[in-house]
Structure 1
Amino acid sequence: MGRDVFLVSNSVDELGGVTSWSHQLARLLTERGHRVHVIGITTPEDPHDLGELPYPTTRLYAGQPPAPGRARDASMREKATVLTGLFRAARPGGVVIVTQVWAMEWVNVADTGGLTVIGMSHESFETSKRSSRFRRVLKHYRNVDRMLALTREDADLWIGAGLNNASFMPNAVPWLPDEPSPRTERAVISIGRLSDEKGVDMLLDTWAEVAPRHPDWVLRIYGSGEDEEILRKHCTALGLDDSVQWKGRTGDVRGALRGGSVFALSSRGEGFPLALMEAMAMGVPCTAFDCAPGVHEIIQDGEDGLLARPGNTGELARKLDLLMSDPELRDRMGEAARRNIRRYGAEEIAGRWEALFGFLER
């Protein structure tokens, strides 16, 4: 029998990894007969067009909530009554999945009686520990039925920090295409937000070492963000304008990956990076900074991709050079990546979610 499942995030329609993940899981659970409702706290100024969805969505605020203080507290209580109304309509066995700890602050004020509540952290333990989110996770997720990290390694660290309800659930790869990238174009692909955490500045430093040895290759950077102007200036200062292509946002990730032969992830921090999984699903071999447990769980170093120490641009450059110089290595690792990433297939992960729902209901 299908369950009522509420997915609560900071936003329903901003362009970002957690939002994409929320809609991916919502579709998976809907296809398996569950009644899913996706709820966002805020509405961004430039909402992403979601198209027609097979499940309802709700936004608590037409814009942003008031700043912290009495007005925020009063507003939170008011909006929590909206959540309570939605939750009370759930049939027995209902589940609330809160994907981000900020959203949990509203859920905590609402009445979740009779429902299973699952809280999530979509970043590594170490990334969270470096931010204000760390203490909020410890505070707001302490009494949920299960707190989910993305890897067993991160779950163990949360348990060590005092969250004895911690466990883990990896992300699912959204698609497993029949046709991989032909890996014939001399292009390295990067996909991600142009922000400090994604480390595109370090990717440009890496490319400055690699590009002179491969004058017929280009680096294609897909994404937008607050650091775009400074990154473009950095690119120019490194003398890379002729070999770096700024592609902006893309709604066709498969097409972008099909046009590349190597994928590069240069992040300072990650959770369980979707772009990495998508590249592997397309058979594009990856190089990445080993910046989080999710990265070295996805990539099996030396078998289906190559890892470099976090922030070591010289080492990442050597790994890139290896793949760019050796088409047979690219093909071997690309095919291994396609095979290995299937362990995170959508049906596999959806089944794990359903098993968790049943376990927590006992």
Structure 2
Amino acid sequence: MKIAFLLHNVYAVGGTVRTTLNLAAALIEHGGHEVEIVSLSRHREAPRFPVDPRITLVPLVDLRAGTPDTLHPAYGKPARAYPVADKRHHQYALLHDMRVRAYLEERCEADVVIGTRPGLNAYLAQWGPKRALRIAQEHLRHDAHSDALLRTVARRYRTLDALVTVTEEDAEVYRARMRLPGVRILSVPNIVPPFAVPPSDGSSKIIAAAGRLAPGKRYDLLLEAFTAVSAKHPDWELRIYGGGAQEPRLRALVDELGLRGRARLMGTVSPIEPEFARASIVVSASDAESFGMTLVEAMRCGVPVVSTDAPLGPAEIITDGVDGRLVPVGNAGALAESVIDLIEDEPARRKMGAAALASAHRYDPEPIVARYESLFTDLAASRRRRAWQKLHARLRHPTR
């Protein structure tokens, strides 16, 4: 089977890029499929993440200075088919509309085409080959999108075959709030492949956290919690990995809280697994998570995670008290208390780390590939029935 992914920019750094590359490689390795990734944009010579050489890359618009694409008349005009309400609309030109339409209508030979963000799913719904299965992936939460964007994609998604979220809780939200007769709405988690690093032995006095330094990740709350941890256990260190706009503010907060030398901003590190394996506890203080890749990556390294019970991912990843701890969102005291409990109970910490390592196998490539293959089979077998459901809905509610 030939499978094509529509991706914003495979040459950039981001969670969707990494998870798409993981899934593409797994579909080849464990399913024997032929896979190509269609990158709407290209801004550098080579991708930042390693790409399995068996994956075919198809860049559509070359943004590098001086290339013919940047001189094309359509490059200077805004996209018309890409939804205006999508946050990335300003990064799309009329040339993107033209190139993706030409690819989907004239060049695409895939049996399955998968879009990876709302704007690309809208392209797929409008121009995707009718003979192919057309699947929308959602890597963010339903509630992370504006009402205007949700109204736009609801109209477009009705022509698709399936909508796949990364958590079951988010799939339930879509089922309740977006009426899509004949469109399968289901969840399939991201693949988080095993990493060749010895697991943590739980003996270091290091607490780690990783992710973009953005307001929603609540590193300010983490530093507040660590103030209480450090007061009780001054020999423990907090290491925060990542970059972003919040870095100057967080550095100032470290000084303000008197944590210099004990709380460190380490910058962006990739891969992150060796750093997690050096830690004994990983912490996430986020207000919201679409999935929680760093949680699984930490568990892959045999490290228990203390996380806020943020919507939507953590509770589907962590079993509280077994392979990690869940605490209320926005509660620095509860975050500090759970970390202190693990610091002071080393046997429990090691046991929880071993359970985390075992639990992380849920995100192995093989079971995730099997779920996608089952979806492809079911969608192909149910095409006529689902087409009738769509037609029936249009006849009953022509104005919706």
Which residue number in structure 1 is paired with residue 18 of structure 2? 20
CA distance, structure 1, for counterparts of residue 97 and residue 359 of structure 2: 46
Shift of 1:48: 4.8
**Structure 2: gaps of 5 or more residues:** 64-69, 82-91, 382-400
Shift of 1:324: 1.7
Does structure 2 conserve the Cα–Cα contact (< 8 Å) formed by 1:87 and 1:112?
Answer: no
Q: 2:108 aligns with which of 88, 91, 95?
A: 88
* 1:328 counterpart SS class: helix
Q: 1:62 to 1:215 in 2, by over 3 A?
A: same
* Alignment of 1:240 onto 2:256: no
* Alignment of 1:361 onto 2:380: yes
The one-letter code of the counterpart of 1:248 is: G
* 2:16 counterpart SS class: helix
CA distance, structure 1, for counterparts of residue 216 and residue 76 of structure 2: 27
**Structure 1: gaps of 5 or more residues:** none
- Higher CA-based Rg: 2
The one-letter code of the counterpart of 2:11 is: D
Alignment RMSD (CA, Å): 2.4
Report the more deviating stretch, 309-318 or 67-76.
Answer: 67-76
- Number of residue-to-residue matches in the alignment: 356
Q: 2:169 aligns with which of 130, 140, 153?
A: 153
Q: What is the 5 A alignment of 1:90-169? A: 90=110, 94-128=111-145, 133-164=149-180, 165=183, 166-169=185-188
Does structure 2 conserve the Cα–Cα contact (< 8 Å) formed by 1:286 and 1:305?
Answer: yes
Does structure 1 conserve the Cα–Cα contact (< 8 Å) formed by 2:5 and 2:38?
Answer: yes
Does structure 2 conserve the Cα–Cα contact (< 8 Å) formed by 1:80 and 1:109?
Answer: no
CA distance, structure 2, for counterparts of residue 252 and residue 69 of structure 1: 35
The one-letter code of the counterpart of 1:156 is: E
1:119-158, Cα deviation, whole Å (9 max, x unpaired): 0111233334x67654444344332100111222221211
Q: 1:68 to 1:207 in 2, by over 3 A?
A: farther
CA distance, structure 2, for counterparts of residue 328 and residue 138 of structure 1: 50
Q: 1:330 aligns with which of 349, 359, 362?
A: 349
Does structure 2 conserve the Cα–Cα contact (< 8 Å) formed by 1:43 and 1:61?
Answer: yes
* 1:80 counterpart SS class: helix
**Percentage of pairs with the same residue:** 29
TM-score normalised to structure 2 length? 0.82
CA distance, structure 2, for counterparts of residue 153 and residue 69 of structure 1: 33
Shift of 1:45: 7.1
CA distance, structure 2, for counterparts of residue 182 and residue 131 of structure 1: 47
CA distance, structure 2, for counterparts of residue 231 and residue 87 of structure 1: 48
* 2:61 counterpart SS class: coil
Shift of 1:231: 1.7
CA distance, structure 1, for counterparts of residue 19 and residue 106 of structure 2: 22
1:159-189, Cα deviation, whole Å (9 max, x unpaired): 1102443211111221165732111110011
Does structure 1 conserve the Cα–Cα contact (< 8 Å) formed by 2:197 and 2:277?
Answer: no
Which residue number in structure 2 is paired with residue 56 of structure 1? 56
Which residue number in structure 1 is paired with residue 234 of structure 2? 215
CA distance, structure 1, for counterparts of residue 186 and residue 263 of structure 2: 41
1:51-79, Cα deviation, whole Å (9 max, x unpaired): 45321112222239657466967434312
Q: 1:135 to 1:67 in 2, by over 3 A?
A: farther
CA distance, structure 2, for counterparts of residue 17 and residue 288 of structure 1: 19
TM-score normalised to structure 1 length? 0.90
Does structure 2 conserve the Cα–Cα contact (< 8 Å) formed by 1:176 and 1:342?
Answer: no
CA distance, structure 2, for counterparts of residue 220 and residue 322 of structure 1: 19
Which residue number in structure 1 is paired with residue 98 of structure 2? 78
Does structure 1 conserve the Cα–Cα contact (< 8 Å) formed by 2:213 and 2:242?
Answer: yes
* 1:30 counterpart SS class: helix
* Alignment of 1:268 onto 2:284: no
Does structure 2 conserve the Cα–Cα contact (< 8 Å) formed by 1:155 and 1:168?
Answer: yes
